Chain A
């Protein structure tokens, strides 16, 4: 089944929207630059400009004669870039959308920059508030000794109390002047420092918590804001009205340094998390960076460097050795070896000759050549890959559902638990019940971390899809990854998947006594097969051309699916195909039966030729297996998978190929519809089936399979039909993808386990469950450290996938 079935989506290209009128009424303006051909003078320029300005929906149009383009601001609701192009064409000028919207690439760049800025800001805030936290600890030291004589009793946090008590002698020695300040001055200095940190470094926690609260929702910020806010207000009360506590037999404890340290530690955790999250999309960033900024094109007979966005379709691009290929295209002149490893995962440079396809972003190694630009902008292979990866990273893995359900109710539950903790401590504690109750409740609020649950699955999906793309394996999303990890059976299409998919004629056998020579047979058969689209037909036509045979005209051509083809050539009724086709025409095959068996036994496909209802000969075509197939199939078997080959071939041919490839389960003579039925049959018997095919001819079977793999192609159709697209044309990608999926699944489970266990263990410990038996009480500061690092550890575990050996 396909991974996602979008309900229907029209996504805007430009995120820049302006001009607001009213609350919900937003008018979006977009800009597009359209290259215009055929403008020679100022009159042309004025004409194009007038035509564009008269178009409804166009807000502004500016045509530049020198740059030969039109910059148009328009309302996307009323018109579109394509309509603007049509307007220009209608008045007789050439126009084409160029490397139009690079949005996917631009969007990724903007996001990277935003993440970088966020990391920088968090880091700065964490460092500064950490330093202020240390200062606050030092300022709290003199208050430690003051509580016996003065009203201001100090540190309530057990960890802080211990830390300060151990550091007191050192502070006494280094800064004895600290002890000359009155507790009143120190308390207010701490209050000022805390306000500074809460307002400047931690202000966003309170703003976001309040914003969420107003809309009946609660999140991580709610817990931090309530936890630190409660500690702060308690301390303020103890500072300004200590008598309130003393008159009730309580010490006026201060939590200022705890508040500052909690904020500093959470910010540190957030900064580390932001950096780690940035690394999860490092593969995507690398892909985006492949896109060169400029291209050298031939314009008016001269070579000019232009921005890559200005390259037009069909334009001639020049590439020299060592340069990156700017846009997709096809070589016109020159040869070279191109390093496509960054897109396909193929480590060896690929030889390119005139007519061969080039992928933008790959590196030209040896020769210089000229090529014709074909797909540009968002239609390019690179843009497709980036879009696919971004979509994949936005998808959900089914395993996330549990985490989603829990995190939906998590924060209100933790708030309730914190209150329960306070009440229980207040009622049961024999000493300083209010202080203990308060510390435990704050610790519960601070230790709880719904972020780890939220990050557990998406970060693993992001790293895994990125890792896959680096190896030329494009995975459609979390669901595809999860299903790929459960695969039990891999069904391989034969032609083009196991074999090269380029069959060649190996034997031509005229029947004894036939009037036809070998050459006659080839000419006749090639004449009829020239009208067929079957890969075997192409092999015969190619063979005839190599022999320099001129083909005849065919009348009444008829292709019989799964059997062969018939037609009339030179007045003779010809039938070329398999045994079934011959049976339809009651052709006696006895004379060549043995020969056909022998050829099939060698893995060749024999095709019978009948002229006017009588057998005239045999042509055998063989499609050699790819050099990597045997080893890759062996890898699949080592992963414990059942490997099955599907083919339309005769049993003996199929078995011979299967033997060469190391496959022991073969389903031969399968018609195109039969592939779907075979996949379905295996699914019904409880197998989780992966189907591997070229993505075009096998689209229905790929869609039926639990996981569809399209191999050796980056075409839209293949990407659409499959769950996993293998850019490289060999089966190793299947084994690597399954291995990657299994590793990813393991990582997701580890992350979820850790995130749940952390909260399930952490919250009761913070609430003081260990206190009755062991006297252990968790300090709110230690709780904040644990919380900050729990989400970091989840992201770090996902990042381990980057180093997983799956190739």
Chain B
């Protein structure tokens, strides 16, 4: 085997390890809802090729206002779905849409786009 081939093999293995580390293991930033001007816990989530932040921490039994700021026209992100809360809402492009929830159970609740391709998690803690 040539030197070049060894380089490609080692580089390939390193790239595969890095991809799996970056997408599966690297810590994703989790953002907690902050108390807003109106005294309600609020969090702004940018919708652009995904949900940013995608991990949102909220408190149980506390009203939280999730403001989805959709900054694209892609049909993939035109809806937000919280399956556990029975919520489906249209997100107009380049506008902010607010969803208010009061989670009554702790746990991890997924939110997705209308077709389940873009994902985020609502982490409800005591």
Interface residues in chain A, defined as those with a beta carbon under 8 Å from any beta carbon in chain B: 4, 6-12, 15-18, 20-21, 23-28, 75, 77-78, 107-108, 110-111, 114-115, 117-118, 121, 204, 207-212, 214-221, 270, 274, 277, 390-391, 393-396, 400, 403-404, 407-409, 411-412, 415-416, 419-420, 422-423, 426-427, 450-451, 454-455, 458
Contact = CB atoms under 8 A, between A and B. Distances in A.
Contacts of B89: 11, 15, 107
A6 B86 contact: yes
Interface string B70-104: 00111110110101111111111101111111111
A394 B1 contact: no
A10 B116 CA distance: 23
Contacts of B39: 77
A212 B51 CA distance: 8
A contact patch SS:
helix
Contact of B49 (A117, A219, A390, A404): A219
A391 B88 contact: yes
A15 B90 contact: yes
Contacts of B42: 24-26
21 contacts: A6-B85, A7-B85, A7-B103, A8-B104, A12-B97, A15-B92, A15-B98, A17-B95, A21-B37, A24-B34, A211-B49, A214-B52, A216-B28, A221-B49, A274-B75, A396-B83, A408-B119, A416-B19, A419-B19, A420-B12, A454-B116
Contact of B86 (A18, A395, A426, A455): A395
A645 B66 CA distance: 48
Given A24-B44, A419-B19, A207 B78 contact: no
A436 to B, nearest CB: 13
Of all A-B residue pairs in the complex, the 3 with the closest CB atoms, nearest first, are A394-B88, A208-B49, A211-B49
B98 A28 contact: yes
Contact of A211 (B33, B36, B48, B78): B48
Contact of B20 (A27, A117, A210, A416): A416
Contact of B12 (A121, A212, A423): A423
B85 A404 contact: no
Given A118-B73, A394-B114, A419-B12, A9 B86 contact: yes
Contacts of A12: 97-100
A695 B1 CA distance: 75
A107 B12 CA distance: 48
Given A26-B98, A115-B75, A216 B26 contact: yes
Contacts of A7: 84-85, 101-105, 109
A103 to B, nearest CB: 10
Contact of A15 (B12, B87, B97): B97
Contacts of B40: 77
Contacts of A221: 49
B39 to A, nearest CB: 7
Interface string B106-118: 0001000011111
Contacts of A390: 88
Contacts of B105: 7
Given A416-B16, A419-B16, 16 more contacts: A7-B103, A10-B100, A10-B101, A16-B95, A17-B67, A17-B96, A28-B98, A110-B90, A111-B79, A215-B29, A215-B53, A216-B26, A217-B118, A395-B86, A395-B88, A415-B19
Nearest to B31: A24
Given A11-B99, A12-B98, A450 B117 contact: yes
A566 to B, nearest CB: 45
A118 B75 contact: yes
Contacts of A23: 44
A404 B111 CA distance: 12
Contacts of B93: 114
